[in-house]
Amino acid sequence: MAKTSHAPSPDLDAIWSALAEHARDIGEQHMRDMFAADPGRFDRFSLSLGEILLDYSKNRITVRTMELLKDLAEQAGLKEWVARMFSGERINNTEGRAVLHTALRAPADAQVMVDGRNVIPDVHRVLNQMEDFCARVHDGRWTGHTGKVITDIVNIGIGGSDLGPHMVSTALRPYWKDGLNAHFVSNVDGTDINETLAKLDAQTTLFIIASKTFTTRETMTNAHTARQWFLDNSGNDHSKVCRHFVAVSTNASAVQAFGIDRENMFEFWDWVGGRYSLWSAIGLPIALIVGMDNFRQLLAGAHEMDVHFRGADFPENMPVILGLLGVWYRNFLGVSNHAILPYDHSLRLLPAYLQQADMESNGKGVTRDGRPVDYATGPIIWGQPGTNGQHAFFQLIHQGTELVPADFILPARTHHPISEHHEILSANCIAQTEALMRGKTEQEVREELAAAGLDKERIEALTPHKLFPGNKPTNTLLLRQLTPFNLGKLIALYEHKIFVESVIWNINAFDQWGVELGKQLADIIETELDSARDCTGHDSSTNGLVNYLKRQ
């Protein structure tokens, strides 16, 4: 079980201890009984914001639980931390940066100051640059070097420069512009870029190179491969590169050296973290494929969630509720993981996107001031779309020994009303949350088997295998429809939930030093793989692996 003996700050010891005691008090209570005792439980533990409904009634909570968690948020200074983030304070203390993904979706008349400068005019200058560029691609004023219109957009990035745009573009497939296709290359494995290029025509393809520094190794390796492929298919004329490559970066000299016109470089700022960057020029592939109007709707939806998060009282605050529930399970019920289960095929990349957003943010083992934590922080995030997951890993969730809280996400309306597909999908989604909550008792199993005509001996043998303990927690998020606006709200909801958890845990959610060491060692090993000499400078395992590879 996760440690709960010490709170992230000494000032929180009393409430932390009260929650630990409360967790013991309700440990034996079953949600089935909670619902039976309280017919108004759904109304009490559900919340709507526009076209999104959050039902969190199928959690191991009581009114007292939520009161204690609210007290925890207050004593952790959550309201003050929210204000500090929105105001542009440098709350990313290890990198000395503000955290202002929220400014990227703020209206043009807003004011957010960083170092005495209002950043909102710069944000909207880049948005207008994106809008002008998208319009030229869409109406045919921007063409390839032979005069043919662009038919394929290829985004080359990695991490936040890939996961966000890829997930959103996939989710908004019904809004794609006619005649345009989107492709995403991120893996430095040559298979990724090779399989993508094999489908393309150099005369009608536009590449977006997304790298803030224009030095990211994986991205630039893929970018140079794409450029060489283009040159090989366009008479090796370097002057034509500028008609087929644009950049999202801040390194103007490197962009120009690559062959991209400076006017086709879309900038963003150091207060835009990679995993929070899809709202910036990193979202250029989204804007190109669904249109700038829809991209602005995405921003507007996120901004509505920002306003809600910033202003709503904690008991009615959707991100706060989800974040506090995450802390409840992680720190007081000893849960190590959390599943994201979208019941919409268009959201199939959402679990992977949230893996980075959550685990890169809250996978920290030290506090903001560098002291080791003695309590659990970020959980493992995983998932898959329903109904596929039901035939893959739901067995473990229902009857395994690991407690897996899960978020079920379902649009009420589908973009593809084919036959009875959406009714079947919706029924499965709601039924799974009920089954996980209720379970099936021994009496119910025996009656069911008896009704099926089984003899007493067979009933005795099968009963233990067909028991469902239930009491498995879920949240259900119902969207009216998966639109750009509602998708923006959904993503922002999870962003803020992650921040809430980080405040309670007293960790910095906005740096990611954990990705650095492997990169540093990879540079050394890459050199050694190119050397004729045996590798001897590492441990025996690493030396053996490098030398084995060299021999192959």
> What is the set of active-site residues?
360, 391, 519
Nearest Cα to Cα of residue 504 among 81, 29, 218, 84 = 81
- pTM, whole model, 2 decimals? 0.95
Q: Are 292 and 135 in contact (CB under 8 A)?
A: yes
Count CB neighbours of 216 within 10 A.
23
Q: Are 479 and 409 in contact (CB under 8 A)?
A: yes
Identify the pLDDT of residue 295.
98
Identify the pLDDT of residue 515.
87
Token pair listed for 260: 């991209």
**pLDDT, tens only, 154-187:** 999 999 999 999 999 999 999 999 999 999 999 9
Dump strand ranges (E) for 384-529. Answer: 406-413, 474-481
Identify the pLDDT of residue 357.
97
**pLDDT, tens only, 259-314:** 999 999 999 999 999 999 999 999 999 999 999 999 999 999 999 999 999 999 99
**Measured between alpha carbons, how far is residue 225 from residues 159, 229, 489 in Å?**
19, 6, 37
Identify the pLDDT of residue 153.
98
The ranges of the chain with pLDDT < 50 are 1-7
338: helix, coil or strand?
strand
Phi, psi (5° rounding) for residue 518?
A: -60, -40
d(CA 108, CA 120): 6
Identify the pLDDT of residue 5.
40
Identify the residue whose tokens are 């395992």.
541
Identify the residue whose tokens are 């090993």.
525
309: helix, coil or strand?
helix
Three-class SS of 275-286: HHCCCCHHHHHH
Nearest Cα to Cα of residue 349 among 209, 169, 153, 481 = 169
In this structure, the chain runs to a length of: 552
- Whether the ω angle into residue 387 lies within 30 degrees of 0, i.e. cis, is yes
Q: What is the largest CA-CA distance in the chain?
A: 83
Identify the pLDDT of residue 48.
98
48: helix, coil or strand?
strand
Identify the pLDDT of residue 238.
96
Which domains does the chain carry? 10-75+312-438+473-511 (3.40.50.10490), 107-295 (3.40.50.10490), 516-551 (1.10.1390.10)
